[in-house]
Amino acid sequence: MLTPDITIMSVGTEITYGNSMEPDNGWVECLNQKWDRNIVLEETSKVSELTLQSETEQRPHKVSFYVQKDRAEDITRSVSTCLKERGLDVKIIYSGGMDLDILPQCAGKGQALAYLHDKFKAEGKLPENTLVCGDSGNDADLYTIPDVHGVMVSNAQEELLQWHGIYAKNNPKIIHAKERCAAGIIEAIGHFNLGPSISPRDVTDLSDSKLETFDPAYEVVKFYLFYERWRLAEVENSELYLANLKAVCVCLALLFNFSF
């Protein structure tokens, strides 16, 4: 898979850049405000109904538990009150019918995205189009950010669909896709006219590139798919595609020359 330029992970508690996964130190400083992981662990250890998730699910600014669905609301309320009395300012997110995450108040996927938008805007680089995609309750914050398009895939979990029904049912910039998983995201790309709305894997003629609607990222994916099929001897008229690839490379070269 292609490595994203920027990655938001761990329920919005980590922002990293590039292949080296360089952390955003400004975001770390924000998360450190009124946060003490040791206090969170100390107080939650007193709640027998909380089961700590495996070590691989824990992060410096995220403490994750399992909890029974019928107890989640009461435990969220009591733990929040307890930690506030200890001087912490936390956010508790319940999702997936059993996952309970305790984070700093300023954390979350939506807050991380808003932080990046503010950072890009200050640098004069605010993206023209942002599409947020989700399937569980811990994705809800993403849809509250101004100037974004949003999609909930058809197989989204109950808590996210409930949130949509209460807060975003009549918002034209947020849709509930008819398709599942990645197909739902592709559906939204087409719905909002954000780019090609067919997966490159479903393109039968890989040589059919329209340079007037040229999309570098799309062409890169198509190249990898061509290479995959070529290695399996599944490509007919490979000479035609290679000629088209040369034209695409010329277009890429011109694009980067203009950019720099």
pLDDT (0 to 100) of residue 199: 67
pLDDT (0 to 100) of residue 148: 93
Q: Measure the CA–CA gap between 206 and 210, rounded to whole angstroms.
A: 11
What's this model's pTM, rounded to 2 decimal places?
A: 0.76
Q: What is the mean pLDDT of each run of 10 residues along the chain (260 residues)?
A: 88 95 96 97 97 97 97 96 97 93 96 95 89 93 92 93 90 94 92 80 61 66 78 78 74 54
| pLDDT tens-digit series, residues 183-232 | 999 999 999 998 877 766 666 665 555 555 566 777 777 777 778 877 88
pLDDT (0 to 100) of residue 214: 61
| pLDDT tens-digit series, residues 14-33 | 999 998 999 999 999 999 99
| Sheet with 6-9: strands ordered across | 6-9, 14-17, 22-23
How far is the CA of 9 from the CAs of 110, 112, 215, in angstroms? 11, 9, 26
pLDDT (0 to 100) of residue 258: 46
Q: Measure the CA–CA gap between 103 and 36, rounded to whole angstroms.
A: 10
pLDDT (0 to 100) of residue 209: 56
